[in-house]
């Protein structure tokens, strides 16, 4: 059975910016070679990635908007709904998460995705009682995938 992973926007941003983060770059490379598992994003991830890399101009010179679009559009896309918005509101009020982080985490919870690939430490306190594991290193992802 396929494992399901949600990819946070910081993975794309850090992997594709002019001075890429090695871990994020390796995670992206691994994700795009893994044909046995499912990887997801939502509209918030697309918005953040597009804004930081295209609008703010952090995309590497050799990468173009079309390349970014191909990369993003090859990932499975999850839609928002009222339950996600309601859960995000609760996370903002009770856990003091930023709006976009709350929407990302509430999407992961709503779709019952067990793994969140992220470099963001803000999620740690919010998932203590959830069945969600944060993946931040390529070795963690590779180990999980090999456990199939």
pTM: 0.91
135 beta partners: 117
What tokens does 10 get? 């910081």
| Burial of residue 13 (number of CB atoms within 10 Å: 0-12, 13-18, 19+) | buried
Confidence of residue 148 (pLDDT cuts 50, 70, 90): low
- The reported pLDDT for the residue numbered 61 is 47
Angle, vertex CA 143, rays to CA 33 and CA 13, nearest 5? 55
Position 54 pLDDT exceeds 90: no
| Burial of residue 16 (number of CB atoms within 10 Å: 0-12, 13-18, 19+) | buried
Tell the residue number behind the tokens 């995309």, with chain if given.
59
The full set of domains in the chain, from first to last, is: 4-80+113-146 (3.40.50.1010)
Identify the weakest region by mean pLDDT among 18-22, 60-64, 79-83: 60-64
Tens digit of each residue's pLDDT (9 = 90 or more) over 61-78: 455 667 777 778 889 999
């Amino acid at each position: 059975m396929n494992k399901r992973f949600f990819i946070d926007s910081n993975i794309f941003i850090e992997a594709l910016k002019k001075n890429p983060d090695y871990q994020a770059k390796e995670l992206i490379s691994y994700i795009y070679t893994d044909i046995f598992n499912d990887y997801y994003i939502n509209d918030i991830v697309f918005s953040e990635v597009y804004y930081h890399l295209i609008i703010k101009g952090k995309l590497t010179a050799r990468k173009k908007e079309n390349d970014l679009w191909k990369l993003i559009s090859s990932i499975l896309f999850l839609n928002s709904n009222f339950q996600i918005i309601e859960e995000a509101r609760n996370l903002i009020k009770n856990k003091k998460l930023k709006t976009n982080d709350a929407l990302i985490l509430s999407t992961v919870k709503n779709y019952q995705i067990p793994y969140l690939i992220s470099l963001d430490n803000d999620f740690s306190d919010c998932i203590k009682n959830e069945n969600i594991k944060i993946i931040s290193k390529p070795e963690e992802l590779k180990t999980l995938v090999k456990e199939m």
